[in-house]
Amino acid sequence: MLMGTILYLLIVISVNLLMPLGAGQTQVEPAPVQVEWAIDAAPEGGWTVGDPIPLRLRVSYPGDIVVTLPQLPADWGPFEIRSQEHLDPVNDQDGSSIATSLITVTAWAPGAFELPAIIIPYRDLEGNLGETVTPSQTISITSVLAEGQTEKAGLKPQATLPAPSRLPYYLGSLFLLAIGGAAGWTGYRYLRRRPSAAAAPSPNLDPRLPHEIAYDELERIEALDLPAQGELKMHYSLVADCVRAYVDGCYRVPAMDLTTRELAAALRDRSVAPNHIVLIREFLAQADLVKFAKFRPHIHQAYGAVDAARNIVDLTIATEMAGPHRPAGTVTGGSKTAHQAGVEQDARTGSSHHESRDR
């Protein structure tokens, strides 16, 4: 009986001594670096095997911390890295900075795959090191095979075609020679009759400034209402060309002839504000996904592309008015750019069939 009482007292004393230790522990401060994934909405039917999937990794951190975004390997877990680009950090209104990495991946097998964790190191001004890890994110990939099909279909046998007759080629050649001879004779007679000193017509000048041209073109694109007709690629091509033409006139760079990456480099050489470069590059990168990667955004996102283009013009008007841009008036007669010719054709027909060429 005495031994039991002593054992009970020892247990009570031990519990009372240990309880303050647990209660006095301090909470761990949250990590100063916040990481999140941003994935665009999947196309109708979901992501399939071989589709380019655009990812956006956003890292938010205080201004007194330096973050290093890692370069991912070509084989990244179940995914293949198609492209990766680190954008220049952007300062937020609260004093923090945001670093963004644009990543395009592809999966070659169906299933639900989790994005591999990425360790992001950082360092403060005192030299203290730390690291954080990307959150968990799962992407579902569906097969492109028909239901019940387990293997890809084999190649069809080579078809045997009869040798074509050469008579149509001979007749076509004679016809073309006749047409060419008649055209040459007509041109020769016209040149002989034309006055020797003909006055060259003066080109027509557009007196509007680049931002005025951009606003008018965006209103015209809105009136076409292409997203409602399912013409998303055409819609993004026209809006992207409008922004490129505006950048061309505002900063005097050949934006219509450069890829998105080359245009960003040219704007940096012109000492354009970094936040303006990021805004233009992200907008054109989104348009490139629709035009060249078969990405189909939601119809509301497509309508928002016009507002995003207007926002670019709104933010850069001060630069246009203060800095050197093209002289007032853009030549619309004589030699024309492909974009100007497409705009005039759209105005005459009331419908758009102008697409930008591969950047």
Question: What DSSP line would sit under 28-57, residue for residue?
Answer: PPPPS-EEEEEEPPPPTT-EETT--EEEEE
* Residues of the chain scoring pLDDT < 50: 12, 15, 18-29, 197-202, 324-359
Determine the pLDDT at residue 46.
Answer: 87
Distance CA(336)–CA(357), nearest Å, equals 16
Give the residue from 95, 125, 142 where a domain finishes: 142
Determine the pLDDT at residue 337.
Answer: 37
Residue 183 domain-assigned (yes or no): no
Q: Are 289 and 236 in contact (CB under 8 A)?
A: no
Determine the pLDDT at residue 347.
Answer: 35
Same domain flag for 40 and 133? yes
Same domain flag for 136 and 211? no
DSSP string, 231-296: -HHHHHHHHHHHHHHHHHHHH---GGGS-HHHHHHHHHHTT--HHHHHHHHHHHHHHHHHHHS---
Determine the pLDDT at residue 196.
Answer: 52
Q: Calculate Rg over the CA atoms of the chain.
A: 32
Residue 59 domain-assigned (yes or no): yes
Distance CA(130)–CA(114), nearest Å, equals 24
Q: What's the domain count of the chain?
A: 2
Q: Which residues on adjacent β-strands are paired with residue 131?
A: 121
| C-beta atoms surrounding 98 within 10 Å | 16
Within its chain, how far is the Cα of 8 from the centroid?
71
Same domain flag for 217 and 340? yes
Determine the pLDDT at residue 160.
Answer: 81
Q: What is the CATH number of the domain that holds 136?
A: 2.60.40.740
Give the residue from 142, 167, 187 where a domain finishes: 142
Residue 148 domain-assigned (yes or no): no
Determine the pLDDT at residue 357.
Answer: 35
Strands (E), the chain: 34-39, 47-48, 53-61, 65-67, 75-76, 79-86, 90-91, 97-107, 111-114, 119-124, 129-133, 138-142, 205-206, 330-331
Residue 126 domain-assigned (yes or no): yes
Give the residue from 123, 142, 161 where a domain finishes: 142
Q: What is the DSSP letter of 118?
A: -
Residue 356 domain-assigned (yes or no): no
Nearest to 235 by CA among 224, 247, 219: 224
Burial class of residue 142, CB neighbours in 10 A (0-12, 13-18, 19+): middle
Q: The domain containing residue 41 runs over which residues?
A: 34-142
Q: Are 329 and 340 in contact (CB under 8 A)?
A: no
47-48 and 97-107 beta bridge pairing: unpaired
Same domain flag for 129 and 211? no
Residue 84 domain-assigned (yes or no): yes
Encoded amino acid at 230, one letter:
G
Determine the pLDDT at residue 331.
Answer: 34
Residue 153 domain-assigned (yes or no): no
Instruction: Give the model confidence (pLDDT) of 111-144 as tens digits.
Output: 999 999 999 999 988 889 998 999 988 999 988 8
Distance CA(174)–CA(202), nearest Å, equals 41
Same domain flag for 243 and 316? yes
Same domain flag for 343 and 219? yes
Same domain flag for 132 and 235? no
Instruction: Name residue, tokens 């750019």.
Output: 337
Determine the pLDDT at residue 198.
Answer: 44
Nearest to 62 by CA among 102, 37, 89: 89
Residue 174 domain-assigned (yes or no): no
Same domain flag for 84 and 212? no
Same domain flag for 228 and 328? yes
